[in-house]
Chain A
């Protein structure tokens, strides 16, 4: 299943918190696509995914918004 998170105009760590909340409702191998504006997500989302074992499959920065795709572990 694919889910979307619109985290535009949220500052970190709120995009991370929204991602964690969404993942808690997901199954392994679900995919989540996030839209973000805060450049802090470029560090925070990959770091949070690394410590929780989820995988980033794509990050697109241009054009804005930043688009991050996460594969749920």
Chain B
């Protein structure tokens, strides 16, 4: 937001690019859960574009991004976050877009030293070089600390009007935001990607382990964002809605998964991922009942529908808290 604003202030036409990888954390993804219904369900990139009065192009990169997640040349950060490869990938995509649409250079909001992996003084030139953007990549917020880029050398951008931010602190950015009259700004870097989230990446690793290969489809990674994930047996996992919004979302997958829900009481909608035997059906029904409003009852009627069209209702006793082993939680 600030980087774009600095360039707009110099009279240059700017358009925004936002890449959808499938791992994005956004208010509307959280909005699946009704308990957060009071929070504004907005896309922050769109909101920023509106504040700046610029166009924003949201680009679906889900398929291409798999190579970044699965085989990052520069490795992962603390979890499964391939930050440096991600940055190279996105700047490369931006460069292609720039060339196709007749723009002259790329602006990012990076700051030297702000992030431990992709925004160090040693790694920032890697992004410029490996993306092919080279000296058409301008980081206005920390331009002073970096060699002059083409737009600065050509005089398209007045380098003397760009700040020289560095380090992890956000105070100068917040002051600059206030000087522009921005009272609100979007999430600082790092909190916008599920690949930096330990709980999420544990579930992704579990998915790969049980698939027997490191691969995913969009639905796989969307479902990892939703519900309580339990693996009662090695060959099947349950995704159990935690409230109405998640139940509604999970119901959208009823044609693709065996699923369970209580009939006699209010309770969760649960997907079952994996092949399950009759014995497993009873266990899955008991787990579903455990998270229903009737968890303290003796008898709960649970409906189980299989992918092959078979379905049946049975009365089960909800599992006790001690029956749900800690090792089941993914």
Which residues on A are within 8 Å of B, measured CB to CB? 8-9, 11-14, 16-17, 20, 37-40, 42-44, 47-48, 50-52
Binary per-residue interface labels of chain B (24-68) against chain A in the complex, 1 for a CB within 8 Å, 0 otherwise: 101111011000000011110011011000111111100000000
A47 in complex: contacting residue of B18, B26, B43, B222, CB < 8 Å: B43
Separation in Å of the B160 CB from the closest CB of chain A?
31
Q: How far is the CA of A40 from the CA of B41 in the complex (A)?
A: 5
Which single residue of chain B is at the shortest CB-CB distance from A21? B60
Q: How far is the CA of A40 from the CA of B32 in the complex (A)?
A: 9
Separation in Å of the B274 CB from the closest CB of chain A?
22
What are the residues of chain A within 8 A of B18 when measuring CB–CB?
Answer: 13
Q: How far is the CA of A52 from the CA of B31 in the complex (A)?
A: 25
Q: Do the beta carbons of B42 and A9 come within 8 Å of each other?
A: no
Q: Do the beta carbons of B46 and A44 come within 8 Å of each other?
A: yes
Answer yes or no: B20 CB below 8 A from chain A CBs: yes
Top 10 closest A-B pairs, CB basis?
A40-B28, A9-B252, A12-B28, A47-B46, A43-B42, A40-B41, A44-B43, A17-B60, A13-B58, A51-B49
Q: Do the beta carbons of A12 and B55 come within 8 Å of each other?
A: no
Main secondary structure of the interface of B (DSSP, over half): mixed
What are the residues of chain A within 8 A of B60 when measuring CB–CB?
Answer: 14, 17
What are the residues of chain B within 8 A of A20 when measuring CB–CB?
Answer: 57-58
Q: How far is the CA of A11 from the CA of B27 in the complex (A)?
A: 11
Query: Can you give 22 A-B contacts (C-beta < 8 A)?
Result: A11-B28, A11-B32, A12-B43, A13-B18, A13-B28, A13-B58, A14-B60, A16-B43, A39-B31, A40-B29, A43-B40, A43-B41, A43-B42, A43-B43, A44-B28, A47-B46, A47-B47, A47-B50, A48-B58, A50-B50, A51-B54, A51-B55
Separation in Å of the A1 CB from the closest CB of chain B?
23
Q: Do the beta carbons of B50 and A38 come within 8 Å of each other?
A: no
Number of A-B contacts (CB under 8 A): 74
Q: Do the beta carbons of B41 and A39 come within 8 Å of each other?
A: yes
Which single residue of chain A is at the shortest CB-CB distance from B43? A44
Q: Do the beta carbons of B42 and A48 come within 8 Å of each other?
A: no
Separation in Å of the B243 CB from the closest CB of chain A?
14
A16 in complex: contacting residue of B50, B58, B222, CB < 8 Å: B58
What are the residues of chain A within 8 A of B31 when measuring CB–CB?
Answer: 38-40
